[in-house]
A and B are shown apart, each in its own frame.
Chain A
């Protein structure tokens, strides 16, 4: 570890979540304060000690309102990360930097939403009004042609990935089958006790060819919060700490919001490669040191290039890695052991970070043997982020 490094200075010491549903029956703010207080209780830290809060620009729950309701006293750091699910691991990076630099003592990262019952996240831009601001105008290159949803933007890259690597829609299906298998044994997963077969995947309806319904994650109501404090203090708390060994953001190679159609090789998730490079360097680890991973699965096709960018297999060979069963229990790298966003819930990657913490603690329902280090990725197709958590 380099001097002055972020690695190992902070830890995730508390995780909290609401139930995951399609209709929470209560406000997003209710979900937010529930998951935040539950994470603090898990950590054994009193809410009045929270001095930092981090969330997504996408989140509708202001930091100050949560802070007010939980009985906060002095909020010294509040920060939001942009680029939808790409923000997930970056919230923890912000928290770790705030703790490591001495700005904060206790930072809570959160994401809480009714994205199924109050609005449909997957609906995309179909009702978007023409506006001049940059991000809306950007979608003007796509929406007049009908390319209006996240699934459709991902499908453009997925089609080319299949063409270049020989991966098939069945390989995408294997990712979904593996996720649903893990979800089937996780009582907190929406798809608890509902595994699927590859036939189910292949028979599911087309959303945007080559993507089928079962290639797409859920839309969920729910909230997840994570408590970060110093590694020093972590030793005295309730649980075995999940040390933040690596935390990085990345954007590069002609970055775009969901539409990196103009980079030389659109099958690559170059920003994931940039995150990977930073994570391994910060942590002083290699892919061989990772026992399990949470690989962002809003859409199955992007799981394959992520496995390649993180160095678990060579470019174009993720299909073989997956066909060999390496992402399932007993394989080289079981991924998304909570069921992923396909099987557990789509809380924009935050539920995956909570699962990584459980794997480090040894308390996951689908616990992998002898976990020293867990890699976590965030939303792909967008500027992104990642974490390595470990003992």
Chain B
């Protein structure tokens, strides 16, 4: 495949691993900032704000919420770094600037992973060093072509101890040229459509199931010759080879026979991670269904669940399952 970016890619590759910084924080970690943060986030963990509680804990004092780490060294709105920061020099060109110059002017944040090594407490003085950890090959994405860039931010305290790391991944890309539609402004609603789940393919053998869901019913196909229930549905009964069939409405009660927590691909219509179960219904058939009202790490095999018939968008209604709490 043609790649006309060899020179650009070589220049970008030279920036990998170059340390930039430290970028300092404006103030030492302090209780008012922590309180602001907790109020904004709705986090009432007493380790962050309740002095008495925290003093009696094994930490012996207040700790800052770990996820606050990025805010501590953030530049202000004027892009001015905090006093004492060491700025990027000409010998440390920024890969995102290179991509801008090469026409990859659009940017989207892909994901951000933080890892914490020790607690940050009031009085700590936090700085960070930034390096470019990796740059992908040229990718062709649904947004356009571009490069994934992973930045590694290493947060250190006043004793030069690493307290946290953050990997921040961006896609710098060019949008396809089709974007200009002169004269159409205002004529149509440009409201973006909500991302939709992939659709099932309907045919004569399965349409009843999807129609049933739209009517609020979870249906199971039944052989009218031998009464065996079956899912997925099929024209012929695998037990007695009869073509005669009807349906029964499931109670919706079942147990998790197995499950996954889907991380990749993170599709926009779904939570990330997305817990999905193979549910065994009390009638004996199994079906695959997304789980709702549960944290992915809490899903267990054998867990009782019940169907929640859910209209996902204008066209699609699904039986999702929710844990039975008793």
The residues of A with any CB-CB pair to B shorter than 8 Å are 23, 25, 117, 123-134, 136-149, 151-152, 155-157, 159-160, 163, 205-211, 254, 259, 261-262, 266
Contact = CB atoms under 8 A, between A and B. Distances in A.
Task: Please indicate which of the listed interface residues A145, A206, A266 has the most CB atoms of chain B within 10 Å of its own CB.
Answer: A145
Interface stretch (B42-50, B85-93, B124-132, B283-291): B283-291
A132 B200 contact: no
A254 B201 CA distance: 22
Task: Please indicate which of the listed interface residues B198, B263, B267 has the most CB atoms of chain A within 10 Å of its own CB.
Answer: B198
B261 A206 contact: yes
B38 to A, nearest CB: 29
Nearest to A132: B203
A131 B206 CA distance: 12
Given A145-B288, A156-B288, A139 B201 contact: yes
B260 A266 contact: no
Interface stretch (B7-15, B54-62, B270-278): B270-278
Contact of A208 (B199, B200, B261, B286): B261
B166 interface: no
A148 B267 contact: yes
Contacts of B205: 137
A150 to B, nearest CB: 12
B198 A261 contact: no
Task: Please indicate which of the listed interface residues A137, A155, A163 has the most CB atoms of chain B within 10 Å of its own CB.
Answer: A137
Contacts of A143: 197-200
A266 B278 contact: yes
Given A137-B206, A152-B262, A206-B264, A147 B273 contact: no
Q: What are the 9 closest A-B residue pairs judged by CB atoms, nearest first?
A: A140-B200, A130-B199, A209-B261, A132-B203, A160-B258, A137-B201, A143-B198, A155-B260, A145-B290
Nearest to A131: B201
Contacts of B170: none
Contact of B260 (A126, A130, A137, A147): A147
A208 B206 contact: no
Given A124-B265, A128-B198, A152-B262, 13 more contacts: A117-B1, A126-B265, A131-B201, A137-B205, A141-B288, A146-B267, A147-B260, A152-B260, A163-B258, A208-B263, A210-B260, A254-B238, A262-B232
Interface string B299-320: 0010000000000100010101
Given A208-B262, A262-B286, A23 B202 contact: no
B144 to A, nearest CB: 16
Interface in B165-219: 197-206
Contacts of A160: 257-258, 278, 301
B202 A156 contact: no
A147 B198 CA distance: 10
B201 A136 contact: yes
Nearest to A143: B198
B37 interface: no
Nearest to A22: B137
A146 B290 contact: yes
B199 A142 contact: no
A274 to B, nearest CB: 17
A142 to B, nearest CB: 5
A210 to B, nearest CB: 8
B26 interface: no
Interface residues of B, number: 42
Contact of B200 (A127, A130, A254): A130
Contacts of A259: 288
A116 to B, nearest CB: 11
B258 A159 contact: yes
18 contacts: A126-B267, A130-B198, A130-B199, A130-B200, A132-B204, A134-B203, A137-B200, A137-B205, A137-B206, A140-B202, A143-B199, A144-B316, A145-B289, A145-B318, A156-B258, A163-B258, A207-B263, A261-B258
Contacts of A127: 198
B94 interface: no
A206 B261 CA distance: 9
Contact of A141 (B204, B287, B312): B287
B119 interface: no
A139 B203 CA distance: 12
A125 B270 CA distance: 15
B201 A209 contact: no
B203 A207 contact: no
A270 to B, nearest CB: 15
Contacts of B312: 144
B301 A163 contact: yes
Contacts of B259: 156, 159
B75 interface: no
A141 B238 CA distance: 19
Interface in B227-283: 231-232, 238, 257-265, 267, 269-270, 273-274, 276, 278
Given A160-B258, A208-B262, A146 B276 contact: yes
Given A141-B232, A144-B316, A262-B286, A159 B276 contact: no
Contacts of A209: 260-263, 273, 296
B260 A159 contact: yes
Nearest to A160: B258
A126 B270 CA distance: 12
Contact of B273 (A125, A136, A149, A206): A206
A138 B276 CA distance: 17
B235 to A, nearest CB: 10
B288 to A, nearest CB: 5
B288 A261 contact: yes
Contacts of B287: 141
Nearest to B198: A143
A143 B287 CA distance: 12
B111 to A, nearest CB: 10
A370 to B, nearest CB: 41
Contacts of A145: 197, 276, 288-290, 318, 320
Nearest to A148: B198
